[in-house]
Amino acid sequence: MPAVCRKARVEDVEPLYQMIQGYAEKGIMLPRSRNVLEKQIEEFVVAEWDGTVIGCGSLCQLGSDLVEIRSLGISEGYKGKGIGSMLVDSLMAEAKRREIPKVMALTYEVSFFIKNGFAVVEKDIFPEKVWTDCIHCKKQHACDEIAVLKVMN
């Protein structure tokens, strides 16, 4: 049975927390508390395989014309099956539904985002991101993530 994407529900908080925490422990994703996940659950989509949450991603509004893809991750054993692209497509559809033309991400997986229609850009074109999140990040002055952007037609 193939994976399906759907809007996250409150009962998904624990699997989301576990997945995000695993990435955070490797230093490749910002941690999210269970409480924050509960409050932001409507911003998340999940990929489900045979009833199990195996992937996630969220949108965060940074400005009237800009959202960020955050917390995009796939469980080990499910990578390379197109699930990440399904999640991105779902998040892009939500941005389009909200009439937000620009979608950005900070990533270590540049080739994945390029494959999904994003382009590499300079981080400093996103002051909204810098002043909402980056000022709280321990990597603020030595950020090694790459900024990517997709502008919808």
Distance from C-alpha of 105 to C-alpha of 67, rounded to nearest angstrom: 9
* Range from 19-28, 44-53, 130-139 carrying the lowest mean pLDDT: 130-139
Q: Answer yes or no: are the C-beta atoms of 88 and 72 closer than 8 Å.
A: yes
User: Tokens in use for 57?
Assistant: 């991603």
Q: What is the residue-averaged pLDDT of the chain?
A: 89
Q: Is 138 exposed, middle or buried (0-12, 13-18, 19+ CB in 10 A)?
A: exposed
Q: Could you list the residue range(s) of the whole structural domain that residue 123 is in?
A: 4-151
Q: What is the pLDDT of residues 8-44, one digit of tens each?
A: 999 999 999 999 999 999 988 888 999 999 999 999 9
Q: Answer yes or no: are the C-beta atoms of 107 and 81 closer than 8 Å.
A: no
Distance from C-alpha of 78 to C-alpha of 59, rounded to nearest angstrom: 22
Structural domain count of the chain: 1
Amino acid at site 45: V
pLDDT over threshold 70, residue 140: no
- How many Cβ atoms are within 10 Å of 14's Cβ, its own excluded? 12
- How many Cβ atoms are within 10 Å of 94's Cβ, its own excluded? 18
Opening angle at CA 130, ends 30 and 107, nearest 5? 45
The pLDDT > 70 percentage for the chain reads 88
Q: Is 146 exposed, middle or buried (0-12, 13-18, 19+ CB in 10 A)?
A: middle
Distance from C-alpha of 9 to C-alpha of 61, rounded to nearest angstrom: 19
